[in-house]
Amino acid sequence: MTLTRLAFKSLLSRGFTVGLTVFAIALSVALFLGVEKLRTGARASFADTISSTDLIMGARSGSVQLLLYSVFRIGNATNNVSWESYEDLTGRPEVDWAVPISLGDSHRQFRVMGTTRAYFDRYKYRGGRSLEFAAGGEFADLFDAVVGADVADTLGYAVGDPIVVAHGLASFTEHDDLPFRISGVLEKTGTPVDRTVLVGLGAIEAIHVDWQGGGRKSGPATPAEMLREMDLEPAAITAAMIGVKSRLQVFKLQRAINEYPEEPLLAILPGLALQELWEIVGVAETALTGVSAMVVVTALLGMAAMILSGLNERRREMAILRAVGAGPMTIASLLMTEAMAMAAAGAVLGIALLFGGLLLLRPWLDAAYGLYLPVTGLTPRDLGVLAIVVAAAAAVSLVPAARAYRMSLADGMMIKF
Amino acid sequence: MSRVASLCAFALTLAPAVSAETRQIDAHEHGTGSLNIAIEDNLVVMEFEAPGHDIVGFEYEATSDEDRAKIEQAVAALASPLALFAPSEAARCTVTEARASLLTDQEHHDEDGRDAHDKDEDHHEDEHAHDEGEDHHEDEHAHDEGEDHHEDEHAHDEDQDSSHTAFEAAYRLTCDNPEKLTRLELPYFQSFPNAEKLVVQVATDAGAHAFEADRDAPTVDLRGTH
């Protein structure tokens, strides 16, 4: 007990150096745990983006690529799926429902997605939650658009506002001849839907009726009234979400799509594609975890160096302790206690930094990257990491402890010239 | 005359479109089979597929009695799934339907062909002519003989007259305690010494999961998948 008090007082007397060391440990611990939080948060966030969809069908490419462009709007499709194949395959008896999606146009920095009204019922996220409207409703007219929460926030849109869709992505040719009207604004979901403008599949066709080879046809534009009358069946879609009647048929349907002789198509189970993605990303994650672990090791070594260099200054202190009856073992354990106290303080401060940082950065991460990080308690793994940090501190303090153990009583008593 | 010529030219441009055939060939990796498992309530459906190499050790057309017998034995073995892909005892699963067959390149995954397959049916004859027979095949795979895992993936051509075969099986199981289906043992690797790896995909109401089992770790942990 005396030893602990002594260690504590000794640390206090060297407040500034100790404070810096503790802070270094705290930062390294916060970094290490933060990387893990970010990793699991990103995984959960991705996994939450799509649920209750059995298969995603698109052009034959890679399963990860199809998942990324169809669900996360990352990258582009290599090919489209012809409407004929879509109708043919979704007409199969195994199919319960199918929602086509058509990507490729944009509105400002946001993607425009053509789909059917069924999307609002069928798209599920975060364990089966449905899309909710913050205002307005689904598209009623051909030129109605529904915008995600971030689109409405960033561009200040409300129900009834007109918007113009640009041809292609990052393009300046706008379909300004045919403005859309916002019929609904969606609630925030934490998924890429927040950053999407949804329009009817027919509307995507309609805005391209007067376009040919990337440019506008000469002559008068087809009036909107006429377009409403037209049969706007799309020639192709980008991908489709499919639900099966029975889970037991999911592999059978997947195989039928993958081996569809008329068109090279690919069907994926979203969960499996995501798992594949993690296997790829896993390497980078391991590297990141490794680097942050090295930072913790560096901080602990810094602490050992600090104690070691302090030994010279504390010769006298040690000698006095020895003179009043403390054995060399006691001196060694004093140093170890100090090290462990610093590491523990660093760990606690690190956790405080982590949660403070999370609370501060969360809204920004959510807005900028659509990454929703839940602030949860410490996991057993986190606690394990903290225990390891304290144990490692004890281990590295063995070096200065051994040195102090070997220092003779006379060493500190004699005044050297 | 010029009209005839232009008609001919027109016909020529059309010709490839008319005679267009679909040329799609599945990836084929020796040593690796796949097992898809779908679970709903107490019903379990399994689909198995593996290259002929894994199951009988050859992929040429069986002409000798010995090879034919091997194929027959393999099909018979594949028709009793619990001896190959054994779910946890506690789940109390029984097989209600099992069929296995050998597919050659031509009919590989042909939907109509599939339906015709029957448990009692031996195998389908390869329609390819194999003049070179075994020697040709061995040559093709000579490069991987030194490797432990025969993981050469073939992108091959119809013209090369090489063929691949695959064994395919489909099972339906009923489990009294599906919630106790937490493990899948794979004595499959003991039954077929050429099989090295099995990619297991599981789809349940809780989502889909993929696993890889191999000869050294012949089990799949199904906890948390359903």
Whether B40 sits inside 8 A of A246 (CB atoms) is yes
Q: What is the mean pLDDT of chain A?
A: 86
Question: Do residues A236 and A342 both lie within one domain?
Answer: no
Enter the pTM of the model: 0.74
Whether B209 sits inside 8 A of A275 (CB atoms) is yes
Residue A274 lies in a domain: no
Question: Do residues A93 and A125 both lie within one domain?
Answer: yes
Question: Do residues A99 and A40 both lie within one domain?
Answer: no
Question: How close, in Å, is residue A98 to chain B by CA atoms?
Answer: 18
Least reliable range by pLDDT among A290-294, A326-330, B23-27, B79-83: B23-27
Q: Does A280 touch chain B (CB under 8 A)?
A: no
Q: How far apart are CA B197 and CA B188, in angstroms?
A: 10
Question: Do residues A108 and A248 both lie within one domain?
Answer: yes
Question: Do residues A24 and A67 both lie within one domain?
Answer: no
Name chain B contacts of A275, Cβ cutoff 8 Å. Answer: 208-210
Question: How close, in Å, is residue B40 to chain A by CA atoms?
Answer: 6
Question: Do residues A214 and A71 both lie within one domain?
Answer: yes
Question: How close, in Å, is residue B74 to chain A by CA atoms?
Answer: 23
Q: How far apart are CA A86 and CA A257, in angstroms?
A: 10
Whether A248 sits inside 8 A of B47 (CB atoms) is no
Of A216, A239, A268, the residue at which a domain comes to its end is A268
Question: Do residues A157 and A206 both lie within one domain?
Answer: yes
Q: Does A217 touch chain B (CB under 8 A)?
A: no
Whether B24 sits inside 8 A of A255 (CB atoms) is no
Of A248, A261, A262, the CB nearest to B38: A248
Q: Nearest to residue A144, comparing CAs of A235, A234, A228? A: A228
Whether A259 sits inside 8 A of B24 (CB atoms) is yes
Of A247, A249, A262, the CB nearest to B205: A247
Residue A275 lies in a domain: no
ipTM over 0.85: no
Average pLDDT estimate for A11-15: 85
Q: Does B56 touch chain A (CB under 8 A)?
A: no
Q: Does A264 touch chain B (CB under 8 A)?
A: yes
Share of chain A above pLDDT 70, in %: 90
Question: Do residues A239 and A122 both lie within one domain?
Answer: yes
Average pLDDT estimate for A266-284: 91
Question: Do residues A244 and A306 both lie within one domain?
Answer: no
Nearest-CA residue of chain B relative to A53? B207
Which pLDDT score is estimated for B20? Answer: 55
Of A268, A296, A312, the residue at which a domain comes to its end is A268
Q: Does A261 touch chain B (CB under 8 A)?
A: yes
Residue A84 lies in a domain: yes
> Is residue B22 within a helix (H) or strand (E), and if so which, with residue range?
none
Range of the domain at A140: 55-268
Q: Does B112 touch chain A (CB under 8 A)?
A: no
Domain count, chain A: 2
Q: Is B17 exposed, middle or buried (0-12, 13-18, 19+ CB in 10 A)?
A: exposed
Residue A232 lies in a domain: yes
* A-B contacts at Cβ under 8 angstroms: 52
Which pLDDT score is estimated for B151? Answer: 41
Question: Do residues A67 and A37 both lie within one domain?
Answer: no
pLDDT band at B162 (very low <50, low <70, confident <90, very high): low
Whether A251 sits inside 8 A of B43 (CB atoms) is no
Segment A149-174, tens digit of pLDDT: 989 998 999 999 888 876 665 444 56
Residue A273 lies in a domain: no
Question: Which residues, at least 6 apart from B78, have a Cβ–Cβ distance to it below 8 Å?
Answer: B48, B55, B84, B100, B167, B169
Residue A276 lies in a domain: no
Nearest-CA residue of chain A relative to B207? A271
DSSP B149: S
Question: What is the maximum span of chain A, computed from C-alpha positions, in angstroms?
Answer: 105
Question: Do residues A11 and A59 both lie within one domain?
Answer: no
Segment B71-84, tens digit of pLDDT: 999 999 999 999 99
Token pair, residue A87, equals 């109708």
Of A268, A292, A316, the residue at which a domain comes to its end is A268
E-strand ranges in chain B read 32-40, 43-51, 86-87, 93-104, 165-175, 183-185, 197-204, 207-214, 219-221
Token pair, residue B29, equals 């990796």
Residue A127 lies in a domain: yes
Q: Is residue B211 pLDDT above 80, yes or no?
A: yes
E-strand ranges in A72-210 read 81-82, 95-107, 110-115, 124-125, 129-130, 133-136, 144-147, 162-163, 180-186, 196-200
Question: Do residues A41 and A61 both lie within one domain?
Answer: no
Whether A276 sits inside 8 A of B109 (CB atoms) is no
Q: Is residue A292 pLDDT above 60, yes or no?
A: yes
Q: Is residue A364 pLDDT above 90, yes or no?
A: no
Question: How close, in Å, is residue B69 to chain A by CA atoms?
Answer: 30
Segment A174-209, tens digit of pLDDT: 666 667 899 999 998 888 899 899 999 988 888 777
